[in-house]
Chains A and B, each alone.
Chain A
């Protein structure tokens, strides 16, 4: 069992996201994270899905996704050199005069940005892969994480290779 990052190129049509996610739930596959947005091709969107499963399960997911008429191409990025990122917003308790400086130091180490300051809290924005974001959240926990919001992972192949193209 390992995490696979699937890049799914779809027609940008009403209902396509529910076709894709419905397929996961009815076939009993779990989605770890999901990110959707328009892509370089007009009229198409790319969905990045992280799914945990053994190779046979993931192969079955990909084949079932491919059967959807609105799905144009499915690629598993996991076996390739790739860049993966997600973004998190973390609201941390930081009253004036207490641990603000420490929190800002941690932010610096993780190259996170402080995007909001109030007398009682800070909001940090951090970008990175899953491990980095989870590591940072863990470190901040001791100060009191009031809210933790993150996007799904997006991924792209390194080098000039792309996943686009006909099915």
Chain B
């Protein structure tokens, strides 16, 4: 006989978990007592939201399932934003929450909240455990559901008496069998042939690739398919890193803050090959004009994404890696699209992404210097807003899982805790959090965690004393009426120092590289407070709902 808490810890270890991010509290005391002398590493965060983001950052950087733990009521509720973030970006995490004892369920007991009810729309699945005998099976199922098919967060709610009561140590079945869950991995052969037929007929094909390529670890197959077919590639925010930024076929990001050449290519293409994407509104702009002259092939593991926002000519339901491998196996043609490539190259040469060069400290310059220094050998995490878009545009990513950002939910405050998690997945490389002065203050309490655990995350704050992206919208669409977007100056280095973290304030472009080097050379965490141009904008920009080839700061196509 073992207690539910003990079975829980052993089950996590059986799933290969080596680290969990959490915060203790009343009803999880039995679980924390088990953790006290377990070999499982636990990182004490300063707010439960950070635990969820850290588990998420760990999962994205490693490809494995991340785990977070919180107590009932407020603890569980604080996980919600982190779970929703993971859900929107299809990140496999298992969130464990304590719950009041089963005899008090539904009684409005102290620190009770219906967390399975609250998280129903933002989890792939969730469980409310009722007996210690179910713990091992449910943990096994939770990891399986989180990590397979289209990945996503799974929550397990554990009432206190389930943790304390004992159950027989039942053997866990090798394989999980759920009659309602059978993801399709292999693409339909005839559909793949049809897709290749369309590709053979196309004159102006473009590949539009997203997070699905990275989630399915399909980068090698993806690059081979693109290269052998000679088809230009544009990636979504989530797809960055699936093909090196300096690959000759890579057009960078598309959409609202995409490159002009990517958006032009989409608008003019006659075949769109959508791989692991979901035609998000930030990508498509006005859906009617998005790839309006193109036939569309859509490869995705989630059938519900196919045809959701845009009609598709050849749907292929399957795991991206498997479908691309099957495609390669029967690929005979060599792609020749000289005129098309030449046309795109012309756009690329004439309308590159710009970095102002006037002696002032511009955020784009900082990102480019960072890129120059790190050469792709780093994990870059971002917050949300201008900092995120400049990093996506100007950092040269060379590997999948080295760019970690909250795309779907757009969660400010994501970056720092996600960077903590990413460090434990990739201790071999520097981990940077590119932040704004707004978003860093949404989870700045995590300075406490990185100091306490000596997590060597480097925090680069692009400090413009504005909620920059909102200010940009106010400038462009609200007649420069800066309603509640200006922030008072903050001395971030002093805050860092108060936690025992080193830092440096940078105001001159000439000091950027030395400061970045100092951060990388420092063994522990480091805070860089870059005082950047205050009213810099992210360009090009497609106004919400416009066609993606109509860009502010861009050129007519």
Contacts and interface: CB of A to CB of B under 8 A. Distances in A.
B368 interface: no
Interface residues of B, number: 18
B322 to A, nearest CB: 19
A145 B241 CA distance: 67
Contacts of B145: 69
B109 interface: no
Contacts of A14: 128
Interface stretch (B178-186, B211-219, B478-486): B178-186
Interface of B: 116-117, 120-121, 124-125, 128, 145, 178-182, 302-304, 307-308
B155 to A, nearest CB: 12
A70 B180 contact: yes
A75 interface: no
A5 to B, nearest CB: 21
A141 interface: no
A69 B304 contact: no
A: contact size bracket: 20 to 34
B116 A26 contact: no
Given A14-B128, A18-B120, A63 B180 contact: no
Contacts of B178: 69
Contact of A68 (B180, B182, B302, B307): B180
Contacts of B180: 10-11, 68-72, 167
A69 B308 contact: no
A24 to B, nearest CB: 11
A63 B304 contact: yes
A59 B121 contact: no
Contacts of A98: none
Contacts of B182: 166-167
A153 B56 CA distance: 43
A18 B114 CA distance: 13
B116 A63 contact: no
26 contacts: A11-B179, A15-B116, A15-B117, A15-B128, A18-B117, A18-B120, A19-B120, A22-B121, A23-B121, A26-B121, A59-B307, A63-B303, A64-B304, A66-B303, A67-B302, A67-B304, A69-B124, A69-B125, A69-B145, A69-B178, A70-B125, A72-B179, A166-B179, A166-B182, A167-B180, A167-B182
B307 A167 contact: no
Contacts of B116: 15
A105 interface: no
B440 to A, nearest CB: 32
- Top 10 closest pairs, chain A to chain B, by CB: A63-B304, A69-B125, A72-B180, A69-B181, A26-B121, A71-B180, A72-B179, A69-B180, A63-B303, A64-B304
Nearest to B182: A167
A13 to B, nearest CB: 10
Nearest to B179: A72
A56 interface: yes
Given A15-B120, A66-B304, A68-B180, 18 more contacts: A11-B179, A14-B128, A15-B116, A15-B128, A18-B120, A19-B120, A22-B121, A26-B121, A59-B307, A60-B307, A60-B308, A64-B304, A69-B145, A69-B178, A69-B180, A69-B181, A166-B182, A167-B180
